[in-house]
Amino acid sequence: MKLKGRRVVGGTAEGELVVSQKPLSFLGGVDPETGVVTDAESDIRGQNISGKVLAFPRGKGSTVGSYVIYALKKNGKAPKAIIVGEAETIVATGAIIAEIPMVDGIDVSKLKNGATVRVNGDSGEVEVLNSGE
Amino acid sequence: MYLTKEEELILAGEYGYALQKAMEILVALGEIYGADRLIPIKSAQVAGVSYKNIGDAGMEFLRDFVDAGARVSVYTTLNPAGIGDDEFMEKQGRVLGLYRSMGIEATSTCTPYYGANLPKFGDHLAWSESSAVSFANSIIGARTNREGGPSSLAAAIVGKTPNYGLHLDESRRATVIVDVGAEVRTFVDYAALGYHVGKTLGNDVPYFINLKPQKTEFLKEMGAAMAASGSVALYHVEGETPEYRNAIDDRIERITVEDSDIKAVREAFRDDWSGIDMILIGCPHASLSEVKEIAELLRMRGRPLRIPLFITASRAVKALADSLGYTEVIERYNGRIIVDACFVVSPLKGWYKGIATNSGKSAFYFRSFGFSVRLDDAENLIMESP
């Protein structure tokens, strides 16, 4: 299955999906030291996003969240790629400064935890390689 | 989004890594929000200053950005800094130093317009602090979106911002009429009005009718509260603010504010003096006339306050207060003027447990941090305080 979104940050990556159906706050919501989601309102609380392809509807919370994404990258705990339904300032800026491929305009309710996907940040395409079930 | 030849070159990295990253941020935001092009800005006001907020993550980014040669290309000032223990202050000092090495004026205030950075009508800006954004848009008629830390820094470096949102005429029109049926006279009445309207409306552009503010400070306070309890970045006041004439073009929704609404806000923040251990004036940072008023009230009170009074203000206002003798009076009565800092972004928990303030914005934040809060006009606070 191929989903067509829009380029936010270029580059390609392939990996296992961690999918949230809720908006995600990075400041106070993701531990920059470990990559573990700590956001109390998140449906992926306790999961580790490090080395995964992270998909969620959109960012929320403080704009300082961009710096948390940068710190994840510096600590080697960043997701390989980011997929969102709707890009906004916090996550887009974070992905740019951390140089993480990112696409938006993807209906994340169609994505399943554990599936393997290939993200092409240049073309905005997400290809589901195996469903993971 | 259309980019000029030079902007394309910056984006391609011809002018170095820092400018390239800054341009990537602006272009991405422009694409996300449907901007047609970048427009030059006159000044920037950058958030992401308090070490409490940005932490080691932000500091690391700033250090890398400085090492990559990041320099601002327009006049830029900073958001207020935090205050804390020695370790905190050491890190806070390093954050300010990093911004200074980018060429930013390290004056940290939510009221840059009382000193270093006064825009004029129609100027395009990239400002961050929500009350400053409200003041610049509404009272001055300059144009800025409410920028985040990294986006305001990117705009400061490139000297441009994507042309969308409040930079455009059509986004500056009122979306709702607020008919003020309540009696609104004092500073805290305006704070309560702003608090109530912000909470009711979210991110609308309100158009106030039947409102006659005696002082600009009243509007400053109302705007700050509206941007805290909601996310109002622009409002108009009929007969008062510079763009009200063109703000309404068709039939829009109307809400009415009654005396009971103002009273409800005041009563929500009436914690007893027994739980209060500091008084906070100056959120947003106090003007010289507000500082003068406090000095006069303290003289009338005639005996020192038993709990400390903190007045937060910009360096510019404090310098004037020093030379005019107000600072000395304030200190004689157990008050202090704190410059270029903000209690809302400081790690205050454990130091204080309750604040008395005339600020609707501070009332909103300190209640959410679990403090006792007493909201009242400065006159009552100074006269009634233990």
| Domain range list for chain B | 5-167, 173-267, 269-384
Q: A130 and chain B: CB distance < 8 Å anywhere? A: no
pLDDT for B350: 81
Q: What is the pLDDT of residue B56?
A: 87
Q: What is the mean pLDDT of residues B32-50?
A: 95
Whether residue B215 is predicted with pLDDT greater than 70 in this model: the reply is: yes
CATH, domain A2-130, list 3.50.30.10, 3.30.1360.120, 3.40.50.410, 3.30.300.30: 3.50.30.10
User: Where residue B231 falls among pLDDT bands split at 50, 70, 90?
Assistant: confident
Interval B107-146: pLDDT, tens: 999 999 999 899 999 999 999 999 999 999 999 999 999 9
Instruction: State the architecture of B5-167 in CATH terms.
Output: 2-Layer Sandwich (3.30)
- pLDDT tens per residue across span B2-15: 999 999 999 999 99
Which tens digits make up the pLDDT trace of B236-289? 999 999 999 999 977 899 999 999 999 999 999 999 999 999 999 999 999 999
Cα separation of B225 and B204, whole Å? 14
Contacts of B23 in chain A (CB under 8 A): none
Does the annotation count A66 as an active-site position?
A: no
Q: What are phi and psi of B79, to 5 degrees?
A: -65, 160
Q: Work out the percent of chain A whose per-residue pLDDT is above 70.
A: 98
- Give me the residue from A64, A89, A97 closest to B48, CB to CB: A64
Chain B positions touching chain A (beta carbons under 8 Å): 21, 24-25, 28-29, 31-32, 47-48, 53-58, 60-61, 147-151, 154
Model confidence pLDDT, tens digit, residues A42-85: 899 999 999 999 999 998 877 778 988 999 999 999 999 999 99
- Is there a shared CATH topology between the B5-167 domain and the B269-384 domain? yes
Nearest CA in chain B to A90: B148
Q: Please list every residue in chain B whose beta carbon sits closer than 8 Å to the beta carbon of residue A89.
A: 29, 32, 148, 151
Q: Averaged over B178-207, what is the pLDDT?
A: 95
How many A×B Cβ pairs under 8 Å?
74
User: How sure is the predictor about B212, in pLDDT bands with cuts at 50, 70 and 90?
Assistant: very high
d(CA A79, CA A24): 14
CB contact under 8 Å between A89 and B32, yes or no, is yes
Hey, CA dihedral for B368, B349, B345, B190, is it positive or negative? Answer: positive
Cβ contact B248:B207 at 8 Å: yes
Cα(B232)–Cα(B16) distance, integer angstroms:
37
Q: How confident is the model at residue B346 (pLDDT cuts 50, 70, 90)?
A: confident
Mutation target among B1, B24, B26, B369 for the A interface, most CBs of A within 10 A: B24
Q: Cβ(B153)–Cβ(A96) under 8 Å?
A: no
Q: Is A8 in Cβ contact with B28 (below 8 Å)?
A: yes
A108: tokens are 């994340």
Say which of A20, A25, A50, A62 is annotated catalytic. A62
Q: Which pLDDT score is estimated for A64?
A: 78
Measured CA to CA, the distance from residue A45 to residue B19 in angstroms comes to 36
Report the distance separating Cα B160 and Cα A3, nearest Å: 34
As a whole number of angstroms, the distance between CA B69 and CA B165 comes to: 30
pLDDT of residue B304: 97
Contact A71 B61 (CB under 8 A): yes
Average pLDDT, chain B: 95
pLDDT of residue B347: 83
Separation CA B194–CA B235 (nearest Å): 10
pLDDT for the residue numbered A65: 86
Question: Looking at the domain covering B269-384, what would its CATH class be?
Answer: alpha beta
Measure the CA–CA gap between B375 and B362, rounded to whole angstroms: 9
Q: What is the mean pLDDT of residues B324-343?
A: 97
Nearest by Cα to B232 from B122, B53, B360? B360
Which chain A residue shows the shortest CA-CA distance from B51? A64
Question: What pLDDT shows up at residue A133?
Answer: 57
pLDDT at residue A132, as a whole number: 66
> Is the CB of A16 inside 8 Å of chain B's CB atoms?
no
Cβ-based contacts of B57 with chain A (< 8 Å): 32, 64, 67-68, 70-71
In this prediction, residue A56 carries a pLDDT of 96
Measured CA to CA, the distance from residue B108 to residue B198 in angstroms comes to 25
Do A97 and B48 make contact, defined as CB atoms within 8 angstroms?
no
Q: What is the mean pLDDT of residues A31-42?
A: 90
* B150–A88 CB contact, under 8 Å: no
- Say what the pTM is: 0.91
pLDDT at B275: 96
**Portion of chain B with pLDDT greater than 70, in percent:** 100
**Does A91 lie at the interface with B, CB-CB under 8 angstroms?**
no
Query: What is the gyration radius of the CA atoms in chain A, in angstroms?
Result: 13
* Peptide bond just before B304 cis, omega within 30 deg: no
- Which chain B residues are Cβ-neighbours of A62 within 8 angstroms? 53
